[in-house]
Chains A and B, each alone.
Chain A
Amino acid sequence: MMRLPTRPAIWPPLLILLALAATFVFWSSGFDFDYVIPKRLARLAAIVTGGVCVAFSSILFQTIAGNRILTPAVMGYEAVYLLLQALLILAMGTQALVVVSQINNFFLSIAFMLAYSWAIHRWLLRDRKNNVYFLLLLGLVLSMVIGTFTQFVQLRISPGEFSILQGYSYTSFNRAQPMQLLYSGLLVAAACVWAWKTLPVLDVLSLGRDQATSLGVSYRRYVQFYLSLIALLVAVSTSLLGPTAFMGIFVANITYALAGSVRHRITLPLGCAIAIAIFLLAQLLVEHVFNYKTTVSILVNLVCGAYFLALMVRKQGRA
């Protein structure tokens, strides 16, 4: 299975990506450099940052969890984020947006999600003997339960606050403010550089706990490190784009199929490229084919959900 990779071919995906991005920015824009193109560039930046977040967090999470079906999104990370936002607004009203600056909010959510990911890891992922599908079911039901709590909180707040909260729960590339984009971009870049530096460790971790330990990797320390990285990335992507649900699974599995290798040096960049390409395609479809009569989150849910279903049915058929 592990075909030794020669120098990975980075040009084809990169070219496709550039072509897609160019189409996205320039298609029927009338080359209006004052308004249309800057707006689109901002969206492009959001898409790139979000895509990198989704790809990195999913692939890292799958490496740590040791399977290819779980992602942070299905394990309830995004639901926790939305619950936290709802609680913040409930506690402080719309002033929450003023009092708690976006940056503080951001760090608060990261802390909250770190706690959640630590709990998840402590209880669920501790031993790999646990059945994957059991964990998956647990994650799905957990997300639903957290979702009902969020809805309950939504009942308690005023309609104005509700509409703010409602905006959080859809995938969209338009909500990001330039400053927020800048901060998120920097954070994500830092996280990626960090992850990149420890690439060999990641490859070793994917062998499992015992192997990793006997190869001299401090398993616990690195797992905690990566879990915090994942919490950060998911916080960024959810605050930037909203929940992406099954997108992560879709991206990660297509990446494994295309890469033909499990080395993170290849899978991580390729995954980013695929995630960005999918987001771009969905946004292009929404803008030019469906004329805004649908949303990115609906499209992504439809396609990725169907793919996920097919993936599980086929996998089980083979096993």
Chain B
Amino acid sequence: MLFVLLCCASLLVGARQLSWAQLLSGSSEAWLTLTASRLPRLAALVLTGVGLSVCGVILQQIVRNKFVEPATSGGLDAAKLGILISLTLMPGVGAVGKMLFALTFCFAASVLYVSIIRRIQFKNTVLVPVVGLMYGSVLSAIAEFYAYRNNILQNMQGWLLGDFSRIVQGNYEIIYLILPIVALTYLYAQRFSVLGMGEGMATSLGLNYGATAALGLMLVAVTVSATVITVGAIPFVGLVVPNLVAMHYGENLRRTLPIVALCGATLLLACDIAGRLLIYPFEVPIGLTAGGAGGLLFLALLIWKNK
């Protein structure tokens, strides 16, 4: 039922965009240039939504906590720090080089975070994201410290915020990295499910725990750094979507992963369209709309779950 509804919503969103494009093309005859900027935007939106929500699923399985995602585990902040350092150390390096830096930092930070969480064995589920948020704010304080010394604080605040308006043909293709990631995740879905049962259980079921967890963190790091470089940071998507899906469809990853991906894309599309319509001739960056909507949903989720 909900699935059909969401499908309709996503179709509607797509249709609206299509009709908009046609309208503009009819009046200004700039069909080609329009699709060159509008279609990439659509692709980037869908891919980012899919990637971020799948990321959330993987992280939640590894940490075994429902409230974890790149924004609440320091991953986003670490990726920002990585880009920052690559900007100052090697200003000439291209998107791929920046991506590698962001990837390394994000991966290292995630590994550290997971090992902290596993070492302490929290009994309290809410503490895990709290520690992650604090960890992230310490990382971003380091980034700010560094940026302030190099006078690039303002520049940093520019790409700190998720924004799809910069997407045009030629500078967003790195986002397609998300496609193989999602395929790989789907392939390994069963293993990630087993991972979520804990180390002992997973090992006794014949799973190489360390390797699978490392693979999962690697997938997350690739996705996060690709989105941060092309779009910017978008918080809470990876947290809200998997939770909402799990409430309705349970935890069988092989079955729910496509739904999660679809819902993530739908949420981002909706947020993006809202952002474009809110102050019409201008745009609200998606980091704000998605952050606001996702944050409110997260709050509702928290209160609902705690009741």
**Chain A contacts for B130, CB-based, 8 A:** 133, 136-137, 140, 312
SS of B interface (majority): helix
* A309 pairs with B131, CB closer than 8 A: yes
In the assembly, what is the distance between CA of A130 and CA of B126, in Å?
Answer: 12
Which A residues, 117 to 164, have Cβ-Cβ distances below 8 Å to chain B?
Answer: 130-131, 133-134, 136-138, 140-142, 144-145, 148-149, 151-152, 155-156
Q: Which of B252-307 contact A (CB under 8 A)?
A: 279, 282, 284-285, 287-288, 291-292, 295-296, 298-299, 302-303, 306
Q: Indicate if the CB atoms of B288 and A151 lie closer than 8 Å.
A: yes
Contacts of A198 in B (CB 8 A): none
With a CB–CB cut-off of 8 A, which chain A residues contact B141? 298, 301-302, 305
- The 0/1 profile, CB within 8 Å of B marked 1, for residues 226-256 of chain A is 0000000000000000000010000000000
Residues in B with CB closer than 8 Å to A140 are 130, 133
* Interface: B199 (CB within 8 A): no
**Distance between Cα atoms of A317 and B303 in the complex (Å):** 26
Determine whether A293 belongs to the interface, using a CB cutoff of 8 Å to chain B. Answer: yes
Interface centre among A136, A138, A144, A317 (most CB of B within 10 A): A144
Number of B positions contacting A (CB below 8 A) = 39
Residues of B within 8 A of A142 (CB): 299
Known: A137-B130, A309-B138, A312-B130. A145 touches B124 (CB 8 A): no
> Is B247 positioned at the interface, with any CB of A under 8 Å from its CB?
no
Pairwise interchain contact B284-A302, C-beta atoms closer than 8 A: no
Is B248 an interface residue, CB under 8 A from the partner?
A: no
Q: How far is the CA of A140 from the CA of B236 in the complex (A)?
A: 13
Contact A301 B127 (CB under 8 A): no
Does B116 touch A at the CB level, under 8 Å?
yes
| Closest Cβ–Cβ distance, residue B12 to chain A (whole Å) | 25
Is residue A85 contacting chain B, with contact meaning CB distance below 8 A? no
- Cβ of B142 under 8 Å from chain A: yes
**Does A316 sit at the interface, judged by CB under 8 A?**
yes
Q: Chain A residues with Cβ under 8 A from B291's Cβ? A: 144-145, 148
- A191: shortest Cβ distance to chain B, in Å? 29
A180 within 8 A of B: no
Number of A residues whose C-beta is below 8 Å from B?
35
Asked if B126 contacts A134 (CB within 8 A), the reply is yes
B22 within 8 A of partner (CB):
no
Interchain CB contact under 8 A, A317 and B120: yes
Stretch at the interface among B86-94, B144-152, B180-188, B208-216: B144-152
Expressed in whole angstroms, the minimum distance between the Cβ of A116 and any Cβ of chain B is: 15
Binary CB contact string for chain A from 303 to 319 against chain B (1 if under 8 A, 0 otherwise)? 00110110011001101
Q: For the complex, is B137 an interface residue (Cβ under 8 Å from A)?
A: yes
Asked if B295 contacts A141 (CB within 8 A), the reply is: yes
Which of B126, B142, B161, B288 interacts with A302 by CB under 8 Å?
Answer: B142
Whether A294 contacts B134 by the Cβ 8 Å rule is no
CB-based nearest B residue for A134:
B126
Q: Is the CB of B148 within 8 A of A137?
A: no
Indicate if the CB atoms of A306 and B279 lie closer than 8 Å: no
How does the 8 Å CB contact mask read for B110-146 relative to A, with 1 for contact and 0 for none? 0000001000101110110111011101100110110
Asked if A295 is at the interface (CB within 8 A of a chain B CB), the reply is: yes
- Whether A133 lies near B124 (C-beta < 8 A) is yes
Scan residues 268-319 of chain A and give those whose CB is less than 8 A from a CB of chain B: 293-295, 298-299, 301-302, 305-306, 308-309, 312-313, 316-317, 319
Known: A134-B306, A138-B302, A152-B288. A305 touches B131 (CB 8 A): no
* A137-B302 CB under 8 A given contacts A148-B288, A155-B288, A294-B149: yes
> How many Å lie between the Cα of A137 and that of B66 in the bound state?
13
- Residue numbers in A under 8 Å from B116 (CB-CB): 313
Once the chains are docked, how many angstroms separate the CA of A305 from the CA of B137? 7
B84 → chain A closest CB, angstroms: 14
In whole angstroms, what is the CA distance A155 to B123 when docked?
Answer: 42
Other-chain contact of B131, A141, A306, A313 (Cβ < 8 Å): A313
Residue B67 at the chain A interface, CB threshold 8 Å:
yes
User: Given that A134-B126, A301-B141, A316-B120 are contacting pairs, would A148 and B148 also be in contact in the complex, using a CB cutoff of 8 Å?
Assistant: no
Q: Using known A-B contacts A293-B148, A298-B145, A301-B141, determine if residue A312 contacts B127 with beta carbons closer than 8 Å.
A: yes
A-B contact pairs, 17 of them (CB 8 A): A131-B126, A134-B126, A142-B299, A144-B235, A144-B291, A148-B288, A148-B291, A149-B292, A152-B284, A246-B137, A293-B149, A301-B137, A302-B145, A308-B134, A312-B130, A313-B116, A319-B123
The 3 closest A-B pairs by CB, nearest first: A145-B295, A301-B141, A302-B141
Assuming A137-B126, A148-B292, A152-B292, what are 10 further A-B pairs, CB within 8 angstroms? Answer: A141-B299, A145-B295, A145-B299, A155-B279, A293-B149, A294-B149, A301-B141, A309-B135, A313-B120, A316-B123
